[in-house]
């Protein structure tokens, strides 16, 4: 089998341990909430295999994938991740989660990684590949998005595959800790069976539209479109508001006589 320099070495118990020991606690410590919105039908493994393509704006994106796999996709897919070789060498334990390497500066290795990914997807309908087609972290609002043709080549090699954009954004909303937003969908077929540039251009347009839509929803505070995916850490602002609310309710429950007695005690 054609393999990249660092192939995936999935170990389910190690994958779960990394999520529950590293990823989930870190997300809960670092974010006020993680929010989720779905557009179009939820990805169905019976309609797979899938290629989920995401914008790449922060170090947190890798941990977000682990949450997406569990909380949104509900572990329905046998999932893999294409990861830059330099990063995967530094965090090699991610191979246990399905990560494999690609070295874009080496055309031969890039081709091996693309063939490897396509072969994985062809083997099982319930498989999914997560890929950051920008290839590197870029500012969330930088335009145009850089989209490398690797995702298009993989889609063309697989043939019968469903694509699906996932937009990520991290934003402070007036609280001490930031909020994370995940927007999935809608799924779609490749723009062509074998026209690499047509597929790449379509992916670029759809991912840009998804990222822009998510930005508009967050900036304009259309939070009713989202549901909480993970409840995180309370900042001092929310903690103090809760304490003040408790005392106010307590005073109201005690009634006028108790409130007057409290005032007298305070003056004494």
- Report CA-CA distances (Å) from 82 to 48, 163, 171, 240: 18, 15, 26, 43
> What's the chain's average pLDDT?
90
The reported pLDDT for the residue numbered 236 is 61
The reported pLDDT for the residue numbered 232 is 85
The reported pLDDT for the residue numbered 264 is 33
Residue 3 and residue 241: Cα distance in Å, rounded?
55
Q: What parts of the chain have a pLDDT lower than 70? A: 235-268
Locate CATH 3.40.1130.10 in the chain: 12-231
* Residue partners of 16: CB distance under 8 A and separation at least 6: none
Provide the CATH topology of domain 12-231.
Glycerol-3-phosphate (1)-acyltransferase (3.40.1130)
Spell 82-92 as b/e; 16+ CB within 10 A means b: bbbbeebeeee
pTM of the full structure: 0.87
The reported pLDDT for the residue numbered 262 is 46
| CA torsion, ordered 117, 151, 102, 118, to nearest 10 deg | 10
List, as one string, the DSSP characters of 149-203.
THHHHHHHHH-S-EEEEEEEEEE--SSSS-EEEEEE---B--S-SS-HHHHHHHH
């Amino acid at each position: 089998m054609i393999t990249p320099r660092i192939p995936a070495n999935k170990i389910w118990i190690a994958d779960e341990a990394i999520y529950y020991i590293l990823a989930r606690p870190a997300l809960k410590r670092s974010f006020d909430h993680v929010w989720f919105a779905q557009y179009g039908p939820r990805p169905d493994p019976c309609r797979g295999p899938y290629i989920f393509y995401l914008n790449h704006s922060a170090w947190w994106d890798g941990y977000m994938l682990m949450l997406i796999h569990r909380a949104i996709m509900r572990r329905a897919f046998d999932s893999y991740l294409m990861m830059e070789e330099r990063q995967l060498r530094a965090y090699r334990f991610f191979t246990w989660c399905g990560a494999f390497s690609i070295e874009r500066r080496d055309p031969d290795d890039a081709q091996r990684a693309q063939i490897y990914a396509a072969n994985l997807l062809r083997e099982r309908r319930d498989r999914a590949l997560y890929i950051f087609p920008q290839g590197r972290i870029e500012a969330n609002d930088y335009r145009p998005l850089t989209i490398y043709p690797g995702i298009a080549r993989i889609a063309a090699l697989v043939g019968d595959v469903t694509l699906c954009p996932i937009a990520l954004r991290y934003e402070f909303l007036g609280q001490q800790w930031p909020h994370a937003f995940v927007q999935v969908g809608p799924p779609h077929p490749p723009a062509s069976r074998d026209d690499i540039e047509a597929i790449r251009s379509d992916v670029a347009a759809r991912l840009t539209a998804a990222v822009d839509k998510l930005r508009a929803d967050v900036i304009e505070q259309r939070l009713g479109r989202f549901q909480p995916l993970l409840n995180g850490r309370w900042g001092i602002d929310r903690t103090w508001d809760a304490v003040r609310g408790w005392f106010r309710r307590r005073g109201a429950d005690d009634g006028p006589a108790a409130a007057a007695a409290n005032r007298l005690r305070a003056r004494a």
